[in-house]
Structure 1
Amino acid sequence: MKHKDTYAVVDIETTGGNVASGDRMIQFGCVLIEDDQIVHRFATDINPLISIPKQIEHLTGLSNKSVALAPYFEDIAATIYNLLDGCIIIAHNIQFDYVFLSGELQRCGMPPLKNKGIDTVELAQVLLPTESSYRLNDLVSKFNIEHTNPHQADSDAAVTAELFLVLKQKLKELPLVTVEKMVELSENLTMETAYFFKTTLTEMKNRPIPLSKLLMIKNGLAIKVKQPIFEQKNYREDARYPANLDHKEQLFQTKLTIRNQQIKMMDAVYDYFSSNEPNHFAIEAATGVGKTLGYLLPLAYIATVEDPVVISTYTTLLQKQLLDKDMVQLNTILPFTVQAAILKSKNHYIHLTKFEEALKDPADQKVEVVYKMKLLTWLTETETGDLDELNLTNYNHLFWNKIRHRGWLTKPEEDQWYDEDFYLHAQHKIKHASVIITNHSFLCHDLNRKEKELPRIGKLIVDEAQHLPDVAMEASSEVFGYYRMQQVIKLIGHASDEKSFLGRITQLSQQLSKIEPSHIENMEMNLFSLEDELTDFIYQLLVYCKNTAGSELYQQEQLDIQFNRETQWNLTLRKSSKKVLALMNEISYLGFELVNQGLDESHQITQRERYLLEDFFDMIKIFEGQKDIFYAVFQENEDNEVTWFSYKEKSPKNSFMIKRSKVNSSKFIKENLLDKIALILYTGATLEINGSFSYFETQLGEENLKQLIIESPYDYKKQARLWIPKELRPIKDLSRKDYVHMIVEQVENIIKNSVENTMVLFNSYEILQEVYFALQKKPSASGRELLAQGFSGSRERILKRFFRSTGGILLGADSFWEGVDLPGKSLSIIVITRLPFESPDRPFVKVKHRYLEQKHLNPFTIDSLPKATLRLKQGFGRLIRSENDKGIMIVLDNRLIQTSYGKQIIRSLPKGLPIEEVTTENIGKKLKNFLNAAEK
């Protein structure tokens, strides 16, 4: 009879990360599992004979005093070695625990560990594909596993054991074909994690379970069956909009709270979309109004499949929230069901045929193996095929380009997964939906497309509308990169290189008569010439930049030189640009010709060879995109656009980029949106400044907007405070070092006098980074969860951890100024490190302001100040999220009260908000008094 495996689930706590550097173990925990049952537990503290660092003490609760009477590792090394002998070791991030433990054993004269090892982080990444965090605390919280003492080895080992059993059960519930594929792929996983997949597959084959009716198998892949979409019936005859308060209360009952401000918004939205109002409508709905339901409820009675309402919001994350949370909530109170669907571009979806092909490719990179296995699990769960569900921090790995959807060059019906295609399914949903949810970026790019993906829009709601002008500007901005062009040229390659596109097309031409070898030869020759001509041209532009910049500007690390073709264009540069452009045109033409010649005989080639042509087509499209930007920069000149050359002094040629952007997007929005859609409702919490929508109107190109301001239901006089420390020196008088020191000093003061969650908002990532490193070294910050953008994972992951923490400190920039919903105790204090003016050194800001000055306009008054005002309003909006919240904003910039424009910014903040200067010492005392009063 075969000996059954015993799993030893291990966790250790240490003084640091490296045995060889003198770090030592201070706690060991182990749980033994046999036959999927926990059969034994062992845990011990360890006296390391060295001092335990303060941050480790705060993290683990273990101190020099608490381990003083514990055994030395030398005393228990043999016990631990014998305990683990013959076991398969499991740990969460096993490579740390295994290597450290083995090192400690060898230090004590024991043999190194030779046990098999399994990593639960990797198992979780594969078997829980949509999790946003794989930290042990977050995973055990998901499965309601009780974790009494996080960062204590006995507790961590116990919950890791329970997590392992949950993951094993999850694996056993997958279809056999899925696990068989995983076993094929798993050889490249960490240590012997592959062994776990093999043994579990054997168990599954011995006790097979029938395939779920929710799944189907095709070509050896198991995927979830898509549910049919039923066209909704015309419900408007049976159900009428609840016009009065009684009807609304009947609708809401006990399921949702009804608010007066929200009712005001609902009625205004219903009246607008029911009328023939000639003007578009803007509603500023302050925090606490409940604006999403404020527009969703009335549109439910207006939208139909034949005449859908399109909602555009700021991000794909907000799209998902609208569909999965807000629409679900709406449908719980309606007497009918509103069908809603999300519209995104193709590349958000997995292409099943391409994934099937990618599974055949050898994968020697561990990360690619994990991605493939993760997708195998995900395909048994997802109904949308939307890759955003995977919650990855980035999708830049080449693997994602291999498998994401890019449409078809041939007839879609020829795709063997045509009937199950996720993008087509999403399109089908759109046709049967009365509410279509998209995002500003997709909307703006779609307005630019010749072939539109959005249906004809009669009614549009723009949520978070304050972002539309910037997103439209971004959608119309263009970048030509010398390095990027070199990479494309390299990938297209030479006919003699079997791995390059031209090399593989050459091989394909040997079996296809229609591919002309002369086209390949001409393309190769033109690519050689382009490399030389483009390099020479960029060199000329660098000389031009040096002459234009002058010696003083040239000392900067990053150079941004504005370019005006009409006034700064010499004959040599003009001739060179024409040569480069002629070569680009020829290469582009030949590339598309080769693709068409190959597709003429597509019936003679394999699926893989067809994908070669599709990938080559995509590469030529990228090339042509760069060519079109090059043409626009050097052959066109528009009044509303700025062009600048940008590069780093250390590597001028490779970092050289040509950037082109509209100065404002109002013309683009007006021509493509405002003039084409009859009914548009804009909404957001920060559309007006001091009661005026004029800045918002100018940004959009709107005129005569119908306007409504719905004020917040919150009592800011009682619920909030805004303080400016009295001792502050003007920021312009501080060196960078002194500025960082001042922020750290103020944050430390808050930490020492409060146990509340605090968010610190920055304008600069560089300053954020320096403050983060400085705070890490402060004893007062140890034991507090310190999270920082760029260091602690994705935005969603950081917010989830911050929400769960007590006394957490979050350092954020950019996206953390808005769209953050942290009610109650999850956020009580916000620190604004300086007034949120855009940095005048940012390339685009610099050239935009220069352009405005050339037009005799004041950039500060018409651009910088309104933007900063709205930004501060957005930041303040994070603080009070319910009627019971109390919160304090501390602004570390005395310009707010000492300048006329600061006082102008103050006037835009909520009415009744108490604003005062307070000494740093008193801030500590007043913090306690004000926030403690919230608990009474």
Structure 2
Amino acid sequence: MAMRFVIIDLETTGNGPKKGDRIIQLGMAVVEGRSIVARFASFFNPEQPIPPFIQQLTNIDEQTVEEAPLFADKAGEIAAMMKGAYFVAHNVDFDLPFLQAELERAGRPPFAGPTIDTVELARIVLPSAESYKLGDLAKQLGLRHDRPHQADSDAEVTAKLFIALLGRLHRLPLLTLEQLRRLARHLKSDIYSLLDAVIAEKRKEAPVDDTVAVYRGIALKKPAPKPDDGRRHSPSASFAAFYEQAPPLPLPGYKRREGQWEMMRLVYEALSTSQHALIEAGTGLGKSLAYLIPAAFFAGERQERVVVSTHTLQLQEQLIRRDLPVLRQVVPFPLRVAVLKGKQNYLSLDKFVSFLSEPCDTYDAALLKCQLLVWLLETDSGDLDELNVSSGARLLLSELAIGEGEDGGRHHFFAQAKQRAERANIVITNHAFLLHDLTASSPLLPPFRHLVIDEAHRLEDAAAHSFGERIDYVSFRLLTAKIAQTLGKWPEAEHGEAEDAIARCQRRLEELQFEGDELFRLLRRYALAKKPARAGRCRCRFSPADEGGRTWQAATELCWRLRDSAAALCGAAMPLVSAPAADGSPLPASLAADLAALERQLATLVRLLTETDPSAVRWIEADEKGAANAVRLYSQPVDLADFFADRLFMKKRSVILTSATLTVRGRFAYMTRRLGLDEFYPLCRSFPAPFRYEEQAALFVPADMPLASAVSVETYAEAAAAAITAVARRVGRRLLVLFPSYELLKMTVEALKNDEADEPFVLIAQGVQSGSPAKLIRTFLQFERAVLFGTSGFWEGVDLPGDALDALIIARLPFAPPDDPVMEAKSERIRARGGDPFYELSLPEAVLRLKQGVGRLIRTERDKGLVFVLDRRLTNAPYRADFLASLPPFPVHEGGLLELLDAADAWLWQGRRPNGV
């Protein structure tokens, strides 16, 4: 391709050229013919101070730029290199405005050529990439990236990334390239002429591409021949022989852990003797292989299928990518492993064909179409979790999944997954699908009698969510807006026959939306009057049999009217739904599916507001300062012990539940009671983590913090902010601070921000900065000195090994907030039978949560770090032993904060290697 591309990266004093921020370094790499042919790099004097966090991020300080040229001195050379070229950058919207501002300041004309954003191009060409940050993409593609956040190094690696993306683009089949070309005008990057050049080259090649299949005009990955399922010759022909020989596992740097092998033996014993088991396996034990290896031997020897259920996608991916290859090398017979999830996790190709033919109303829709076209050439499963799409495209993607009542069309990814599961020795699924299957009249999982549940501490929560119900104003409004949009798209040619039906539907829909607005407004008013908001949010429990008053009566009457209006709408739409368009338009099917979803929503609303269910707790949530109708209604079962006993443990021969947090004070009593295992006498065993906790970590409890239960949240937040600041200044470079509630997190961050300008560390806070926990962690790791504040998802599943984390701060013991409706309902039940809700529920829950949080610190045998628990109830409350006996055997230090900081500083660096742990 005779094209010229100039790849540019900048380092700047801030984020806004309009606010006067300036360039401090610029790197350029010129690409022609898929090779770098020229380079340019220079620091620039910005004629203004460089903020401390920019210095920390880039390692560019005031001294570095003091003698550097002004941008105007190099503007002519830079403009000459860019002449006639594409402007390419990793986030063009950041780099180009800065460059334009500097060119204007230097009296030069702005750049007016085409642009390509490598973030956007990577999203299209690598639709399954875990992250689109430059460093992460470089790592994925094996590109060397020595000095991140230095413009010359970033420009070089962006150029290599661009060349790699061009290569992948050229390998796409002609059919896909032509479809991308039709979509290219809706993208931000000017890649249509680039695609023209690739297509022209492609047409010169052999026209037949036997690596793809075609379905309704879309290129798909052709199924590969089935690989050899495993080794057929091994000295270890049975689990007994394998366990006796105890060969080293084929893992890089594998080190034998006695606890892992003991767990293997126990899992095999439970499976082969048809017993249930609760196994607590500490972090770093290697628990996944400790249950997969005996499960695989058992499945092969007994010709019995074993199902493995996980809670998180992260663990499911780990089982497939990291553990399955090891398993195939260890097990001496053909091993068939399959993943099966609910239908809504798989793409409906027929829906995508219809979606592809629709006009691109939004940028998100255009980009998603491009991503799906490329992904279909890579995926074997059609599992939508493989995709990394923008938040704006997530809702669109969910609408392309196979619906619960749909058959998926002639090319059915779910049916293929189900067939693979029926042939498999081991089936990997998730808690939600497993629980749905236990109650389904026609189970979708193949028959099985043996089950391993990993992340078992999340099983009850998953069941409560799965069997609970929810409806909220936003989802109601989105669904009715979608129906209105579908009616508005009805083909003009059909208006002669369908015009009356469309008009009737639109009138019914307007009535429905008006009544829905009024209903949710009434519910919000009722909830706020019944229970005032706490920390800006109201959570109000209700029971239809016990509610009363004019507002509640008006809401229930409106609820019935809403259901009748929906039924009238469905009746009015019958002529449209029952007479599909002659041209095969997807609109009738789409309308029918949305109307069915609306009827399900309103049936849920009627149940929640009018039917009594003593086994469930119901509540209304509303934000004090939110919209007048921004309301959410929830229902969850209170006690699931009988369900687990009857539907799970009675029906299966062996259920093995494992997690890193199952015991309180070394006992399984709380978990066996909670899961209905009391009468099954399960095997119970705890295997500690293989770490030297006495040497690797220490616990510090400041005695001069205010007592959490004796002061207001605001007072405690101010004290916590001061303590966090002191710890961050004195010890460690990166700190993770965990909070039991967002209310306390927000107040603490606000108190800290008052003095942030003078601090040497960067603050990154969940809910303050946008993004998922994974995204916030990636940002956190970019800085040498940073403090990450998290709640909810940060207490578990976060992995920060080595020098990624020096200290962990627990801001407050993780007792459930007092307005938690589920905990309230459970406490009432315990109290009604004469029990103590605190010791039977609140305390065990808090202990397990604290164990999960503390487990974020020591992840490998080489980690070393500090734990600060700012809540002095840990060491002086009557229940302190329940917490301390459940934690790893850390040395515990108490005293004034300044005294503890001296001790912590000395302990952290004692014997630490110069290059860090």
Identity of aligned residues (%): 31
CA distance in structure 2 between the aligned counterparts of 1:70 and 1:399, rounded to whole angstroms: 49
| Alignment equivalent of 2:795, drawn from 817, 820, 823 | 817
Higher deviation after alignment, 562-571 or 164-173: 562-571
Q: Offset at 1:246?
A: 6.5
Q: Offset at 1:395?
A: 6.9
8 Å Cα contact 1:87-1:116 kept in structure 2: yes
Letter in 1 for 2:678: E
Alignment of 1:781-930 (within 5 A): 782=760, 791=769, 793-799=771-777, 809-846=787-824, 848-849=826-827, 853=831, 857-910=835-888, 912-930=889-907
8 Å Cα contact 1:641-1:662 kept in structure 2: yes
CA distance 1:557–1:35, shift in 2 (3 Å)? closer
8 Å Cα contact 1:752-1:780 kept in structure 2: no
| Alignment equivalent of 2:545, drawn from 566, 578, 583 | 566
The residue number in structure 1 matching 2:471 is: 480
Q: Offset at 1:503?
A: 8.1
Q: Offset at 1:349?
A: 1.4
8 Å Cα contact 2:520-2:629 kept in structure 1: no
CA distance in structure 1 between the aligned counterparts of 2:563 and 2:492, rounded to whole angstroms: 21
CA shift digits 1:356-400 (9 cap, x unpaired): 222221214222222211222212211111111123464764421
Higher deviation after alignment, 748-757 or 660-669: 748-757
| Alignment equivalent of 2:692, drawn from 694, 703, 715 | 715
The residue number in structure 2 matching 1:128 is: 126
The residue number in structure 2 matching 1:618 is: 593
Q: Is 1:584 the counterpart of 2:563 in the alignment?
A: yes
The residue number in structure 2 matching 1:116 is: 114
Report the 3-state secondary structure (helix = DSSP H, G, I; strand = E; otherwise coil) of the residue aligned with 2:643. helix
CA distance 1:506–1:194, shift in 2 (3 Å)? closer
Higher deviation after alignment, 258-267 or 925-934: 925-934
Q: Is 1:94 the counterpart of 2:92 in the alignment?
A: yes
CA distance in structure 2 between the aligned counterparts of 1:222 and 1:933, rounded to whole angstroms: 60
CA distance 1:619–1:554, shift in 2 (3 Å)? same
Q: Is 1:281 the counterpart of 2:277 in the alignment?
A: yes
CA distance 1:157–1:243, shift in 2 (3 Å)? same
CA distance in structure 2 between the aligned counterparts of 1:169 and 1:785, rounded to whole angstroms: 39
8 Å Cα contact 2:505-2:573 kept in structure 1: no
CA distance 1:882–1:17, shift in 2 (3 Å)? closer
CA distance in structure 2 between the aligned counterparts of 1:880 and 1:555, rounded to whole angstroms: 35
CA distance in structure 1 between the aligned counterparts of 2:779 and 2:504, rounded to whole angstroms: 57
The residue number in structure 1 matching 2:356 is: 359
Higher deviation after alignment, 171-180 or 920-929: 920-929
| Alignment equivalent of 2:401, drawn from 401, 404, 420 | 404
Report the 3-state secondary structure (helix = DSSP H, G, I; strand = E; otherwise coil) of the residue aligned with 1:66. helix
Q: Offset at 1:150?
A: 2.3
Letter in 2 for 1:723: F
CA shift digits 1:581-616 (9 cap, x unpaired): 376267448738966x777766x74442xx333322
| Alignment equivalent of 2:375, drawn from 373, 378, 396 | 378
Report the 3-state secondary structure (helix = DSSP H, G, I; strand = E; otherwise coil) of the residue aligned with 2:65. coil
Q: Is 1:290 the counterpart of 2:267 in the alignment?
A: no
8 Å Cα contact 2:127-2:389 kept in structure 1: no
Q: Is 1:455 the counterpart of 2:446 in the alignment?
A: yes
8 Å Cα contact 1:670-1:702 kept in structure 2: yes
Q: Is 1:149 the counterpart of 2:142 in the alignment?
A: no
| Alignment equivalent of 1:660, drawn from 635, 640, 650 | 635
Higher deviation after alignment, 576-585 or 155-164: 576-585
Report the 3-state secondary structure (helix = DSSP H, G, I; strand = E; otherwise coil) of the residue aligned with 1:122. helix
Q: Is 1:681 the counterpart of 2:681 in the alignment?
A: no
CA distance 1:780–1:301, shift in 2 (3 Å)? farther
Report the 3-state secondary structure (helix = DSSP H, G, I; strand = E; otherwise coil) of the residue aligned with 1:243. helix
8 Å Cα contact 1:721-1:913 kept in structure 2: yes
Say what the alpha-carbon RMSD is for the aligned residues: 3.7
8 Å Cα contact 2:697-2:866 kept in structure 1: yes
Report the 3-state secondary structure (helix = DSSP H, G, I; strand = E; otherwise coil) of the residue aligned with 1:479. strand
The residue number in structure 1 matching 2:460 is: 469
CA distance in structure 1 between the aligned counterparts of 2:705 and 2:590, rounded to whole angstroms: 58
8 Å Cα contact 2:145-2:153 kept in structure 1: yes
Q: Is 1:336 the counterpart of 2:315 in the alignment?
A: no
Q: Offset at 1:696?
A: 0.9
CA distance 1:815–1:399, shift in 2 (3 Å)? same
Q: Offset at 1:914?
A: 1.5
The residue number in structure 2 matching 1:695 is: 670
The residue number in structure 2 matching 1:645 is: 620
Letter in 2 for 1:382: T
8 Å Cα contact 2:813-2:850 kept in structure 1: yes
Report the 3-state secondary structure (helix = DSSP H, G, I; strand = E; otherwise coil) of the residue aligned with 1:692. coil
Higher deviation after alignment, 728-737 or 879-888: 728-737
CA distance 1:510–1:428, shift in 2 (3 Å)? farther
The residue number in structure 2 matching 1:669 is: 644
CA distance in structure 2 between the aligned counterparts of 1:29 and 1:88, rounded to whole angstroms: 15
CA distance 1:322–1:607, shift in 2 (3 Å)? farther
CA distance 1:645–1:758, shift in 2 (3 Å)? closer
CA shift digits 1:425-455 (9 cap, x unpaired): 2111111111111111222233343332222
The residue number in structure 2 matching 1:312 is: 309
CA distance 1:225–1:808, shift in 2 (3 Å)? farther
CA shift digits 1:865-920 (9 cap, x unpaired): 1111011111222333334433321111111011012232112123x431121443
Report the 3-state secondary structure (helix = DSSP H, G, I; strand = E; otherwise coil) of the residue aligned with 1:270. helix
8 Å Cα contact 1:118-1:196 kept in structure 2: no
Report the 3-state secondary structure (helix = DSSP H, G, I; strand = E; otherwise coil) of the residue aligned with 1:303. helix
CA distance 1:237–1:585, shift in 2 (3 Å)? farther
Letter in 2 for 1:367: D
Aligned residues: 908
8 Å Cα contact 1:393-1:793 kept in structure 2: no
Q: Is 1:326 the counterpart of 2:323 in the alignment?
A: yes
8 Å Cα contact 1:463-1:684 kept in structure 2: yes
Report the 3-state secondary structure (helix = DSSP H, G, I; strand = E; otherwise coil) of the residue aligned with 1:373. helix
Report the 3-state secondary structure (helix = DSSP H, G, I; strand = E; otherwise coil) of the residue aligned with 2:678. coil
Letter in 2 for 1:701: G
| Alignment equivalent of 1:46, drawn from 29, 36, 44 | 44
Higher deviation after alignment, 803-812 or 68-77: 803-812
For structure 2, the 5+ residue unaligned runs are none
The residue number in structure 1 matching 2:167 is: 169
CA shift digits 1:258-308 (9 cap, x unpaired): 32222222222212211244xx32122223332222211111122269631
Letter in 1 for 2:86: I
The residue number in structure 2 matching 1:496 is: none
CA distance in structure 1 between the aligned counterparts of 2:577 and 2:509, rounded to whole angstroms: 23
CA distance in structure 2 between the aligned counterparts of 1:59 and 1:547, rounded to whole angstroms: 49
CA distance 1:248–1:828, shift in 2 (3 Å)? farther
Higher deviation after alignment, 67-76 or 738-747: 738-747
CA shift digits 1:780-833 (9 cap, x unpaired): 865779575773743344456667876564333222212234443344422111
CA distance in structure 1 between the aligned counterparts of 2:662 and 2:216, rounded to whole angstroms: 53
| Alignment equivalent of 1:726, drawn from 683, 699, 703 | 703
CA shift digits 1:631-675 (9 cap, x unpaired): 323443222222233333445751233322222222333333233
Q: Offset at 1:174?
A: 1.4
Higher deviation after alignment, 569-578 or 241-250: 569-578
Q: Offset at 1:508?
A: 6.2
